[in-house]
């Protein structure tokens, strides 16, 4: 199959975008974003991030890939700062601080190097990042890094250190490929599923790694892999491929240290490198193009709105422009009221959802207890010799059957209700952003159609429900000496009470598992939505009000420059439209290249 190429390369489009935006001599926010994209392309490096929940073995996995214990590992949540690993002849450490200070260390022995890295990168040595570390770059000689691949060790999500999760979210826009590390203990959590939704909106290519398979039998590994595949397919089918690669980073590192080739093969690390890492390196150019073209289209759309507003602002008489700016500023409090109203409505729905969850959980408890009480009675009626043993056997199967059936129905119902409930909030958030832009474009009398890839935001979140095997084990209890001395009718009554109490405990545990998992996901969904709503408004105001205010200030300061500026901006607007078309072509070609080679 022949893939037709666009007339301009990605570098050409970025260079031209930088040139035309620079020619405006305006401090456009989009110009900084273009510069960032151009720098990424010039580096010709593929950013591969290792992502996942804390204690999944991410740092150990990276050490195994590198073939050496470069990154510190421990039992507690460790990495708190993103660490970027790239090729170097000798170990080097470059630490960037929020104060602007930089610290470069080179030529250290591996052990001393690891100690210094531990001091700046870990939660234990640098709690809550009190040192103000922004970024850590590590240079290391490893074959995996030789072809321009940059590995990123990210802080683990889901621990009590919430700032680690926030730090990882901030790194996502820099990632071209994600290696999402999972492990059997447990296979996946609702926190990870919620995080994956965020990952998928930023990272164009995602691969799943099931680590720690050395603690599983082959039969258990197959079951865990099947379970993970089902969960990922059910909840992320439209965004990611649920292909999962199994390995043991611990076994791989041990085999590497002992020169044990057979042990290394058994760890499955070599097959992972051959099946995943080598193809990724071979597709570096295409994957980098795919990641950057999508971001470039968003940047160009935002830049074009900036310029369209600026062109119109230049054409307006200065007095009229000042009136428009004043009118827009008078609208800002109204937008703030609408934002607060949207947040209040969201908070109200959150309370209603949580109340509904509690009510549904309580009803489920009652149904389960009634159902199992009936099972106990049937067992006692059908087994004259040893009814308690028979009842316990029947209860084990009945509990699993009941919760498989009931929880699936409850989960589907809750998923539908949550999704439907979010629809008006999504519309309200989009309408608020659109109202800000429309206010600016109406005041300046220009037409504008919102670009989905540029100035709108994906506010949808996929709820996740626990589907793991329900707890259903009832330990058989033999009657004690005292029980055996009692009349049969009394023994049976005591047996019923014991069984009902045991069944009630299992019901409570299973219902609580669902309730807690659902509660956490609901809280995460609402929190992320609220943050997105606020961020969307802030960016919309910056794009519109910021552009108008800049032009007005410029014209007030130098009236005689209006005409040359107007001509320059008109040319820029035309060029940006052309570059947007080229960016769309490049995105289509990059996607086809990756699809063909994948």
Residues 169 and 82 in one domain: yes
Percentage with pLDDT > 70 across the chain: 81
pLDDT higher than 60, residue 451: no
What is residue 462's predicted lDDT score, i.e. its pLDDT? 32
What is residue 567's predicted lDDT score, i.e. its pLDDT? 77
Last residue of a domain, one of 259, 282, 305: 282
Assess if residue 21 is contained within a domain: no
Counting DSSP H helices and E strands in the chain, the numbers are 17, 9
pLDDT higher than 90, residue 417: no
Taking phi over 0 as left and psi of -120 to 50 as alpha, with beta for the rest, 291 belongs to: alpha
**In this structure, are residues 52 and 206 in contact, taking their beta carbons and an 8 Å threshold?**
no
The residues that bridge with 182 in the sheet, in sequence order, are 210
- Give me the domain span that covers residue 377: 316-557
- Tokens for 54? 């804390």
What is residue 334's predicted lDDT score, i.e. its pLDDT? 93
- pLDDT 10s digits, 163-212: 456 667 677 777 888 999 999 888 887 778 877 877 877 787 889 999 99
Residues 302 and 266 in one domain: no
What is residue 251's predicted lDDT score, i.e. its pLDDT? 94
In the block, which residue shows the tokens 């040139």?
A: 19
269-278 long-range Cβ contacts below 8 angstroms, 24+ apart: 269/64, 269/65, 271/245, 271/247, 272/209, 272/245, 272/247, 273/65, 273/144, 275/245, 276/179, 276/207, 276/245, 277/65, 277/144, 277/149
What average pLDDT does this structure show over 347-359?
Answer: 90
What is residue 485's predicted lDDT score, i.e. its pLDDT? 52
Assess if residue 7 is contained within a domain: no
What is residue 327's predicted lDDT score, i.e. its pLDDT? 93
Taking phi over 0 as left and psi of -120 to 50 as alpha, with beta for the rest, 307 belongs to: alpha
What is residue 74's predicted lDDT score, i.e. its pLDDT? 53
Give the confidence band of 157 by pLDDT, cuts at 50, 70, 90.
confident
What is residue 563's predicted lDDT score, i.e. its pLDDT? 57
Q: How many angstroms separate the CA atoms of 87 and 377, rounded?
A: 70
CB atoms within 10 A of CB 585: 17
Residues 120 and 264 in one domain: yes
Q: How many angstroms separate the CA atoms of 253 and 65, rounded?
A: 9
Segment (H or E) for 48: strand 46-51
359-363 long-range Cβ contacts below 8 angstroms, 24+ apart: 360/410, 360/414, 361/511, 361/512, 361/514, 361/515
- Tokens for 440? 């600016």
Mean pLDDT of the chain: 78
Assess if residue 62 is contained within a domain: yes
Residues 160 and 52 in one domain: yes
Q: How many angstroms separate the CA atoms of 12 and 21, rounded?
A: 14
Nearest in space to 178 (alpha carbons), one of 153, 149, 203:
203
What is residue 408's predicted lDDT score, i.e. its pLDDT? 63
What average pLDDT does this structure show over 22-27?
Answer: 77
pLDDT higher than 70, residue 545: yes
Residues 120 and 258 in one domain: yes
What is residue 75's predicted lDDT score, i.e. its pLDDT? 40
Residues 273 and 132 in one domain: yes
What is residue 129's predicted lDDT score, i.e. its pLDDT? 76
Count Cα atoms within 13 angstroms, Cβ side, for 214.
17
What is residue 271's predicted lDDT score, i.e. its pLDDT? 93
What is residue 406's predicted lDDT score, i.e. its pLDDT? 73
Q: How many angstroms separate the CA atoms of 309 and 352, rounded?
A: 42
What is residue 233's predicted lDDT score, i.e. its pLDDT? 79
pLDDT higher than 60, residue 151: yes
pLDDT higher than 70, residue 482: no
What is residue 236's predicted lDDT score, i.e. its pLDDT? 65
Residues 213 and 105 in one domain: yes
Assess if residue 27 is contained within a domain: no
Assess if residue 568 is contained within a domain: yes
Residues 249 and 376 in one domain: no
Residues 225 and 85 in one domain: yes
Residues 221 and 298 in one domain: no
What average pLDDT does this structure show over 281-294?
Answer: 78
Q: How many angstroms separate the CA atoms of 460 and 117, rounded?
A: 38
Q: How far is CA 532 from the centre of its chain?
A: 14
What average pLDDT does this structure show over 304-311?
Answer: 81
CB atoms within 10 A of CB 214: 16
Assess if residue 20 is contained within a domain: no
- pLDDT 10s digits, 491-504: 667 777 887 888 88
Last residue of a domain, one of 282, 297, 326: 282
Q: How many angstroms separate the CA atoms of 470 and 403, rounded?
A: 7
- pLDDT 10s digits, 369-409: 888 888 888 877 776 667 777 777 787 778 777 876 776 66
What is residue 469's predicted lDDT score, i.e. its pLDDT? 37
- Strands 92-97, 102-106: parallel, antiparallel or unpaired by DSSP? antiparallel
Assess if residue 14 is contained within a domain: no
> For 26-30, 210-214, 319-323, which range has the lowest pLDDT when averaged over its residues?
26-30
3-state helix, strand, coil in the chain (%, to 5): 65, 10, 25
What average pLDDT does this structure show over 256-285?
Answer: 89
What average pLDDT does this structure show over 64-90?
Answer: 76
Number of domains into which the chain is organized: 3
> First vs last Cα of the chain: how many Å apart?
14
Is the pLDDT higher at 207 or at 41? 207
Assess if residue 348 is contained within a domain: yes
Residues 426 and 528 in one domain: yes
pLDDT higher than 90, residue 249: yes
CATH number at residue 81: 3.40.50.300
Q: How many angstroms separate the CA atoms of 428 and 344, rounded?
A: 12
Residues 177 and 306 in one domain: no
């Amino acid at each position: 199959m022949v893939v037709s190429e666009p007339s301009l390369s990605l570098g050409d489009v970025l260079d031209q975008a930088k040139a035309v935006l620079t020619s405006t001599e305006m401090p456009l926010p989009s110009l900084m974003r273009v510069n960032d994209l151009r720098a990424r392309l010039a580096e010709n490096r593929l950013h591969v991030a290792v992502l996942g929940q804390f204690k999944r073995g991410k740092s150990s996995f990276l050490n195994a890939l590198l073939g050496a214990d470069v990154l510190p590992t421990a039992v507690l949540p460790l990495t708190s700062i993103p660490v970027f690993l790239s090729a170097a002849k000798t170990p080097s450490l470059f630490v960037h601080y929020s104060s602007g200070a930089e610290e470069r260390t080179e030529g250290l022995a591996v052990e001393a190097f690891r100690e210094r890295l531990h001091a700046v990168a870990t939660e234990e040595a640098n709690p809550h990042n009190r040192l103000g570390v922004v970024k850590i770059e590590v240079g290391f000689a490893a074959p995996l890094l030789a072809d321009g691949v940059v590995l990123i060790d990210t802080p683990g999500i889901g621990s009590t250190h919430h700032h680690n999760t926030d730090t990882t979210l901030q790194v996502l826009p820099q990632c071209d490929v994600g290696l999402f590390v999972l492990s059997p203990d447990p296979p996946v959590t609702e926190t990870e599923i919620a995080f994956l939704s965020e990952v998928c909106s930023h990272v164009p290519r995602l691969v799943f790694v099931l680590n720690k398979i050395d603690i599983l039998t082959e039969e258990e590994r197959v079951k865990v892999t099947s379970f993970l595949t089902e969960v990922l397919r059910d909840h992320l089918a439209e965004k990611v491929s649920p292909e999962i690669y199994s390995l043991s980073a611990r076994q791989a590192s041990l085999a590497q240290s002992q020169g044990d080739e057979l042990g290394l093969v058994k760890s499955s690390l070599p097959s992972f490198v051959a099946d995943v890492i080598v193809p990724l390196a071979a597709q570096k150019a295409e994957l980098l193009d795919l990641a950057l073209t999508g971001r470039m289209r968003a940047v160009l759309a935002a830049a074009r709105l900036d310029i369209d507003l600026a062109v119109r602002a230049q054409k307006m008489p200065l007095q009229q422009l000042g009136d428009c700016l004043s009118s827009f500023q008078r609208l800002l409090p109204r937008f703030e009221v609408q934002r607060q109203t949207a947040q209040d409505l969201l908070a109200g729905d959150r309370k209603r959802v949580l109340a509904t969850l509690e009510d549904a959980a309580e009803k489920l408890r009652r149904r389960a207890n009634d159902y199992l009480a009936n099972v106990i009675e049937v067992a006692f009626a059908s087994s004259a010799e040893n009814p308690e043993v028979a009842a316990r056997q029947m209860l084990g199967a009945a509990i699993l059957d009941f919760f498989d059936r009931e929880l699936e129905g409850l989960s589907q119902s809750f998923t539908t209700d949550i999704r439907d409930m979010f629809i008006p909030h999504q519309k309200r958030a989009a309408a608020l952003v659109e109202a800000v832009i429309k206010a600016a474009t109406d005041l300046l009398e220009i037409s504008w159609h919102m670009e989905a890839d540029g100035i709108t935001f994906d506010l949808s979140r996929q709820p996740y429900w626990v589907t793991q095997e329900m707890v259903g084990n009832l330990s058989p209890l033999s009657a004690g000496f005292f029980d055996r001395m009692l009349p049969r009718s009394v023994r049976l009554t005591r047996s019923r009470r014991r069984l009902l109490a045991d069944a009630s405990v299992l019901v409570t545990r299973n219902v609580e598992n669902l309730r807690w998992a659902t509660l956490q996901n609901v809280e995460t969904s609402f929190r992320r939505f609220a943050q997105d709503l606020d961020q969307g408004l802030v960016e919309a105001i910056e794009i519109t009000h910021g552009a108008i205010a800049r032009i007005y200030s410029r014209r007030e300061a130098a009236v005689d420059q209006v005409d040359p500026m107007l001509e320059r901006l008109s040319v820029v607007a035309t060029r940006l439209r052309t570059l947007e078309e080229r960016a769309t072509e490049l995105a289509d070609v990059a996607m086809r290249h990756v699809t063909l080679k994948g």
